[in-house]
Amino acid sequence: MKKKVGVIGAGIIGLYVASELKKKSFDVTVFEKQSIEKVGKKSCSTLVSKRIFDFIQIDDDLIENTIKRCLIKFKKKEVVLEFNPEHIVINRERFVLRMIKNAEFNIIFESNRTDFSEFDYVIGADGASSFLRHKLNLKNPGYRVGLKVESNVKDSNDTVKTFKTKNGFTWIIPKGNYTEYGVLEKKENIKDEWKKFNKKGSNLSFALVPQGLVLASSDKYAIVGDATGLTKPWSGGGIIWQLYEAKMLIENFPNFKKYNKEVRKFFLWKIIKGRISNKLIHFVGNHFSFLIPSYIKYDNDFPNFFKSLLNSKRKKPSS
Ligand SMILES: Cc1cc2nc3c(=O)[nH]c(=O)nc-3n(C[C@H](O)[C@H](O)[C@H](O)COP(=O)(O)OP(=O)(O)OC[C@H]3O[C@@H](n4cnc5c(N)ncnc54)[C@H](O)[C@@H]3O)c2cc1C
């Protein structure tokens, strides 16, 4: 008989895990607490590198813009990071609904299920405030808050603009038919930083951005995605790193010990390195900006400091 797997959460990661496990012939059911109308509406800019194509098919009509670079404004200098690989902005709501439409497994919406004893395995892909993480008495990761609005200014530029705040940054993302303004900050500073940024728009939304790496040590339960707190320390972006994490879960399924080990081995040093270099770069950028090249070719998922420096230029190329 097929083994029964319960996946908690129909976000991008839960749906990806469920569809891959279904391909491996497990009997998969996804439990989602939101209604189908609300499930795709989570606050997320959904700016990801083209590495996403290695995991999920993204139809052209879901792509709102292509982003080639990021302009970081330090106090006295602007630095261009040329994204390598390029990024795309996806319409998250329609993307999640498309994944749901294509799903070949059962999804139960508006679920408030807390008892999963009938399942052989349970995967918590239930986001930053994960119910399963609490149930397993695991500690919470750290959090920042991401807040954004949409203005009706059309902008198809290929450059994201960011400005460092106390513990995070503000961003302006051209999304084709509109522009997104947002800020990532610690909870206690978010109001002040948002005021300073002073941007107006509609559809104000916010959500927790977890930070850390928390894994479940159990033979029946595993957590993945925002539930583990695995996001890039410099940007809070979670999708690409979490798809790598989800792939490790699927490849090792149901050996969760091996999954945990592989995730730690692959990501722990990247998290530590990311935190240190993020602090260092912003300190140097604001106080000794002459040391930083103006143009850097940059892998925004798996940066390599030395490779980036080799591919940097003191001045921005003219085109
Ligand atoms: C403002 C903002 C901007 C961001 N921008 C980017 C970006 O540009 N690029 C990027 O890579 N990342 C970005 N992120 C991070 C990214 O959104 C997350 O890392 C990613 O969406 C996590 O996916 P997930 O499937 O793990 O969790 P989620 O998308 O949070 O999905 C979890 C699902 O579980 C459901 N759920 C929760 N509890 C239960 C329960 N008890 N029972 C059943 N269901 C439950 C929730 O309703 C939800 O649908 C951003 C985050 C924020 C807040």
**Within a domain: residue 173?**
yes
> How many structural domains compose the chain?
1
Q: Helix, strand or coil for residue 186?
A: coil
**Within a domain: residue 318?**
no
Q: What's the CA-to-centroid distance between 255 and ligand 1, angstroms?
A: 25
**Does the beta carbon of 43 sit less than 6 angstroms from any atom of ligand 1?**
yes
Which runs of E-coded beta strand occur in 113-168?
Answer: 121-124, 142-151, 159-164
**Within a domain: residue 103?**
yes
What are the tokens at 266? 């692959």
CATH number at residue 226: 3.50.50.60
**Within a domain: residue 10?**
yes
**Does the beta carbon of 39 sit less than 6 angstroms from any atom of ligand 1?**
yes
**Using CA atoms, how far apart are residues 285 and 279, in angstroms rounded to an integer?**
10
Q: What's the CA-to-centroid distance between 210 and ligand 1, angstroms?
A: 10
**Within a domain: residue 222?**
yes
SS percent in the chain: helix, strand, coil, step 5:
35, 30, 35
Residue pLDDT, tens place only, 168-187: 999 999 999 999 999 999 99
**Does the beta carbon of 32 sit less than 6 angstroms from any atom of ligand 1?**
yes
How confident is the model at residue 29, as a pLDDT?
98
**Within a domain: residue 319?**
no
**Does the beta carbon of 127 sit less than 6 angstroms from any atom of ligand 1?**
yes
pTM over the 0.85 mark = yes
**Within a domain: residue 305?**
yes
What are the tokens at 8? 């908690």
Q: What's the CA-to-centroid distance between 167 and ligand 1, angstroms?
A: 21
Q: What's the CA-to-centroid distance between 37 and ligand 1, angstroms?
A: 16
Nearest CA to ligand 1 atom 31: 11
| Domain range enclosing 9 | 4-313
Q: What's the CA-to-centroid distance between 33 and ligand 1, angstroms?
A: 13
Q: What's the CA-to-centroid distance between 49 and ligand 1, angstroms?
A: 17
Mutate to test the pocket of ligand 1, among 42, 91, 107, 249 (most ligand atoms within 8 A of CB): 42
**Does the beta carbon of 245 sit less than 6 angstroms from any atom of ligand 1?**
no
**Using CA atoms, how far apart are residues 114 and 92, in angstroms rounded to an integer?**
27
Where the chain has pLDDT below 70, the residues are 313-319
**Using CA atoms, how far apart are residues 200 and 152, in angstroms rounded to an integer?**
10
Nearest CA to ligand 1 atom 29: 11
How confident is the model at residue 317, as a pLDDT?
59
